[in-house]
Amino acid sequence: MLLKDRICVITGAASARGIGKATARSFAEQGGRVVILDLDVGQAEAAARDLGAGHLGLACDVTDKAACRAAAEEVLGHLGRVDVLVNNAGITQPLKLMEIEAAHYEAVTDVSLRGTLYMSQAVIPAMRAQRSGSIVCMSSVSAQRGGGIFGGPHYSAAKAGVLGLAKAMARELGADGIRVNSVTPGLIQTDITGGKLTDELRAEIAKGIPLGRLGVADDVAKACLFLASDLSAYVTGAVIDVNGGMLI
Ligand code: NAD
């Protein structure tokens, strides 16, 4: 059991086919007690129930600093500590450069970047007091290659910002026993991407991927499990690519 009795908070984890939910499942299978945060409390609670007994679902809009703090306090009140935070919540918009208006920019950067900052700030005091913790930040291959298939340039910018923020946090928090790492998924079939993929497009995309297929949420969940657990005890400030070789 890699995460036995560890308290693991995952943002944006209510979406049934999402990376967050798959990560929640893998953490629960490894003995973790999972707290699912998402926009809708009903969906978050249902997702937590799906994992079995002892898990928690709470509403939390990660763009709202007070909401992040309140969620962290509720977790600490119920479960007493926070061992793992996965900053997974994210949205994308398939826009071209000149189509991006202020509201688009704010919406996309707020969830990925502001959300990562606010939720991390909310749990860091408890992790510091424990002198241990692992924070995993969800970036994207879009940050590295300057665009994905569905994300606009503002999405690439937000996800590149996540990489910088995670590395800066890793530097500052290492002395407190807190590790911070990032995951950069390639094209993973979830609700963000799934509905937009025809069979032809999927086959076309797969041709450009050395491992010959698109990713599934479990592929990313396994990298998160490694980073959350003591298997990665000497890993901080790192970026793990989970993209089937899309970017080599
Ligand atoms: P998804 O849409 O299935 O899940 C995203 C979740 O985030 C949803 O449950 C949504 O309700 C939640 N969310 C949105 N705004 C929120 C907010 N303000 N506060 C709290 N929760 C919020 O998408 P996914 O594909 O599972 O994506 C998960 C993460 O992985 C995202 O950060 C995404 O950018 C990243 N990512 C996905 C892919 C891919 O191909 N699917 C590739 C690279 C990176």
Question: How many domains would you assign to the chain?
Answer: 1
Q: Ligand 1: which of 63, 86, 162, 192 to mutate, most ligand atoms within 8 Å of CB?
A: 192
Residue 247 lies in a domain: no
Tell me the pLDDT tens digit for each residue of 38-94.
999 999 999 999 999 999 999 999 999 999 999 999 999 999 999 999 999 999 999
* Cα angle 215-53-36, degrees, rounded to a multiple of 5: 45
Task: Give the residue whose CA is nearest to atom 36 of ligand 1.
Answer: 140
CATH number of the domain encompassing residue 232: 3.40.50.720
Q: How many residues does the chain have?
A: 248
Contacts 24+ apart (CB under 8 A), 120-125: 120/85, 120/87, 120/169, 120/180, 121/65, 121/68, 121/69, 122/65, 122/68, 122/69, 122/71, 122/72, 123/9, 123/72, 123/75, 123/82, 123/85, 124/173, 124/176, 124/178
Q: Is the CB of 182 under 6 A from ligand 1?
A: no
Q: Is the Cβ atom of 109 under 6 angstroms away from ligand 1?
A: no
CB 200: neighbour CB atoms within 10 A?
8
ipTM above 0.90, yes or no: yes
- Give catalytic status of residue 155 as yes or no: yes
Pick 23 or 194 by higher pLDDT. Answer: 23
Residue 235 lies in a domain: yes
Establish whether residue 9 lines the binding site of ligand 1, counting it when its CB lies within 6 angstroms of any ligand atom: no
Long-range contacts of 162-170 (CB under 8 A, 24+ apart): 162/87, 162/112, 162/113, 162/116, 162/137, 162/138, 163/137, 163/139, 163/239, 165/113, 165/116, 165/117, 165/137, 166/116, 166/135, 166/137, 166/139, 166/237, 166/239, 167/237, 169/120, 169/135, 170/236, 170/237
Nearest to residue 156, comparing CAs of 115, 96, 210? 96
Instruction: Give domain status of residue 233, yes or no.
Output: yes
Domain contains 168: yes
pLDDT in tens, 2-26: 999 999 999 999 999 999 999 999 9
* Residue from 105, 118, 155, 234 carrying the catalytic annotation: 155
Q: CA 37 to CA 72: how far, in whole Å?
A: 10
User: Does residue 246 lie within any of the structural domains?
Assistant: no
- Tokens 């999405």 -> residue: 155
Q: Is the CB of 144 under 6 A from ligand 1?
A: no
pTM for the model stands at: 0.98
The token pair that represents 9 in the structure block: 């908070």
Residue 190 lies in a domain: yes
What pLDDT sits at residue 163? 98
Arithmetic mean of pLDDT over the chain: 96
Residue 189 lies in a domain: yes
CA-to-CA distance for 57 and 39, rounded, in angstroms? 10
1 domain-assigned: no
d(CA 165, CA 92): 19
Domain span at 73 = 7-241
pLDDT at position 202 is 87
* 88 Cα–ligand 1 center, Å: 6
**Ligand 1, pocket-test mutation among 142, 190, 202, 220, most atoms within 8 A of CB:** 190
Identify the bridge partners of residue 226 per DSSP, sorted by sequence position: none
211 CA distance to ligand 1 centroid (A)? 24
Do 27 and 8 touch, CB atoms closer than 8 A?
yes
Distance between CA atoms of 192 and 131, rounded to whole angstroms?
A: 36
Q: Which of 11, 19, 188 to mutate to test the pocket of ligand 1 (most atoms within 8 A of CB)?
A: 19
Å from CA of 175 to ligand 1 middle: 30
Whether 185 is in the pocket of ligand 1, judged by its Cβ within 6 Å, is: yes
